[in-house]
Amino acid sequence: MSASAESRQMTVAEVRARKGAAPLVCLTAYTTPMAEAVDAACDVVLVGDSVGMVLHGLPSTLGVTMEMMLMHGRAVARGLSHALMVVDMPFGSYEESPEQAFRNAARLMAETGCGAVKLEGGAAMAGTIRFLTARGIPVMAHVGLTPQGVMGFGGYKVQGRGADGARVLADAEAVAEAGAFAVVLEKVPAALADRITDAVPIPTIGIGASAGCDGQILVVDDMLGVFTGFRPKFVKRYAELGDAARAAVETYAEEVRSRRFPGPEHVFADETGGGA
């Protein structure tokens, strides 16, 4: 994650300064090639704990470990030279106490080179956010639908409808006051997201929220259409790579079975034949 005069890494301060300015472009990445693909276009790249579901086939993010986040964080770091890298703190790595959170956040930063960590939770996590930021660890917060708390929510449901909006607003205000430099708003009504964006002094990053947020984030595999069967309402497909990949594999299989692959251009002559 080296910086140069031509390509310099985004900083936490620069992200925070984008409040009310040009919208922040954010995507997830879990591998070096994907990090390289999204780096130039993004302001923030999140190594999300969604990696457990996207790459490891887990039913939720609850089974993601520190070791998984460290491994994928190091991989993504090798592919970035522009975007700020933020790494998710996995379930069970920060909720016990601020001290536990500091130990694990410090390890993530030291071993991946990330510029910040992200943790889920609103007012209940404000003390932990304050503890971390006072010790030099930048924190991106996450309120609304928090996937690590999906069991308590009873599923991946919209949060903040009706009277419940006051809770989500209070959560966003609490994490901002505690020192978070940005806050993800997930799966909340658009009007509430706009209200929160106006109310807090830090950038809001929407996912299933509102175009009025200070930035947007999507899981890169979702927006690229890698999974043809999974299409949340808030995801726009910018490609259909899953269909393209399946078609390519079918063509390959047919050519292998018909002995059309490998062709003469894909094989090597022996030395006496003068080939490569």
At 274, the pLDDT band (50, 70, 90 cuts) reads low
Residues tagged in the binding site annotation for Mg(2+): 49, 88, 120
Residues tagged in the binding site annotation: 49-50, 88, 118, 120
Percent of the chain with pLDDT over 70: 94
Q: How far is CA 275 from CA 259, 262, 263, 264, 265, in A?
A: 21, 16, 14, 11, 11
| 240 labelled catalytic | no
What the block records as the tokens of 272 is: 């006496």
Given a cut of 70, is residue 5 above it in pLDDT?
no
**Which homologous superfamily does the CATH classification assign to the domain defined by 12-222?**
Phosphoenolpyruvate-binding domains (3.20.20.60)
CB 133, CB 98: distance < 8 Å = no
Q: How far is CA 17 from CA 12, 20, 85, 257, in A?
A: 9, 8, 17, 58
Given a cut of 50, is residue 3 above it in pLDDT?
no
- Rounded to an integer, what distance in angstroms lies between the CA atom of residue 161 and that of residue 2? 44
Q: How far is CA 130 from CA 6, 138, 241, in A?
A: 35, 10, 41
At 28, the pLDDT band (50, 70, 90 cuts) reads very high
Residues whose CB is less than 8 angstroms from the CB of residue 245 and which lie 6 or more positions away in sequence, other chains included: 226
CB 156, CB 132: distance < 8 Å = no
CB 153, CB 145: distance < 8 Å = yes
Q: How far is CA 92 from CA 162, 168, 209, in A?
A: 31, 22, 26
* pTM score: 0.93
Q: What is the mean pLDDT of residues 226-245?
A: 89
Q: What is the mean pLDDT of residues 135-151?
A: 93
For 144, the enclosing helix (H) or strand (E) is strand 139-144
pLDDT tens digit sequence for 148-166: 987 676 667 899 999 999 9
pLDDT at 271: 77
What the block records as the tokens of 166 is: 């006051």
95, 173, 177, 186: the active-site residue: 186
pLDDT tens digit sequence for 69-78: 999 999 999 9
Given a cut of 70, is residue 4 above it in pLDDT?
no
- Mean residue pLDDT of the chain comes to 94
| DSSP, residue by residue, 175-193 | HHHHT-SEEEEES--HHHH
Residues tagged in the binding site annotation for 3-methyl-2-oxobutanoate: 49-50, 88, 118
CB 215, CB 25: distance < 8 Å = yes
